[in-house]
Amino acid sequence: MSASATTPNELRAGALRRRWWRRHRDGFGSLAAAGPALLFLLVLYLIPMAMLLAQSFEGASLPHYQKALTDDLYLRVLFDTLLIAACVSLLCLVLAYPVAYALSILPSPWPAVGIAFILLPFWTSVLVRTYGWMVLLGRNGLINRMLSDLGVIETPLPLLNNMTGVLIGMTHVLLPYMVFPLYAVMRRMDPNLAQAARGLGASGWDVFRRIYLPLTLPGVLAGMTLVFVLSIGFFITPALLGGGKVHMMAVLIEQQVRMFLNWGFAGALSAVLLGATLLVYIVLRRLLRGNMQWS
């Protein structure tokens, strides 16, 4: 059969090739549309990043990585950074979850009003907001002024230039990143589901724990991932509200380049920070995908 059917087979192969090309012509054409942007990102994004990381590998025994991963001082900064990111993620979740829920059940126009109140700070410069927090939290700031006028405190509370200030500032910047995914998930929830459960005798807590929480978990994970990943790279807020007392990776990296011109070590610290970021991102994305399928 094979010997006699060579010509038809070739014909068929040719037809298949042509059909394949017709089907994929658009596809390859649109690869070309990606060309300029990809070239741009290659030259201005991937190459500089690769060069920075390459500098961190100088020396046979990788001295920069040894320093970054064994020196107590730098480990401490890494630990603090992760701890702050975890705290900010939790704070954002605790604040955002009820807000997103309230916005998802309120009748119009209240959801739009609430969203506007979240979008306005979201789109305002971080520097403006940071300055605003300095006015609010400073020794002579609005909050200390009000509390002492009311006789609640004698001496001003230390709210600025420490961990408190950084946590407040970062939570403020990142809260919208938590509200939006939660709100998106909750808006799609069918209210009849909770009602049906209530009708079958479930308590309010049961409805929350067994229906609402599992169904909103994708939003929770999406928001937490985003907030955590953005937190560990934060620079402006800890630099301005931490008063030099709160050490985060990004501030450390900036110092290594600006003050010490220590590119190799800055590269190693960057690799560690990048590794932590991508690890969290990939793990939580995987979790999220599994969860989406499950729900």
Q: Is the dihedral of CA 247, 253, 256, 262 positive or negative?
A: positive
Structure tokens at 19: 């059909």
222 contacts: CB under 8 Å, gap ≥ 6:
181, 288
Nearer Cβ to other proteins (4/258)? 258
- Three-state DSSP class for 213? helix
Nearer Cβ to other proteins (79/110)? 110
CA distance 118 to 33: 36
What does the buried/exposed string (b/e) look like for 248-270 if buried means 16 or more CB atoms within 10 Å of the residue's CB?
A: bbbbbbeebbeeeebbbbbbbbb
Nearer Cβ to other proteins (263/291)? 263
Structure tokens at 244: 């030099």
The Cβ-side half-sphere exposure at 264, using a 13 Å CA radius, reads 9
Minimum distance of other proteins from residue 263's CB (angstroms): 6
Q: Which residue has the tokens 């305002």?
A: 124
Nearer Cβ to other proteins (103/246)? 103
Structure tokens at 169: 């500032």
8 A C-beta contact, residue 283 and residue 210: no
Nearer Cβ to other proteins (1/261)? 261
Minimum distance of other proteins from residue 9's CB (angstroms): 26
Nearer Cβ to other proteins (15/47)? 47
CA distances from 201 to 194, 205, 272 (A): 11, 12, 51
Q: Which residue has the tokens 């920075």?
A: 52
Instruction: Outline where 106-162 has alpha helix (H).
Output: 110-123, 126-137, 142-149
Nearer Cβ to other proteins (62/189)? 189
Radius of gyration of the chain (CA): 27
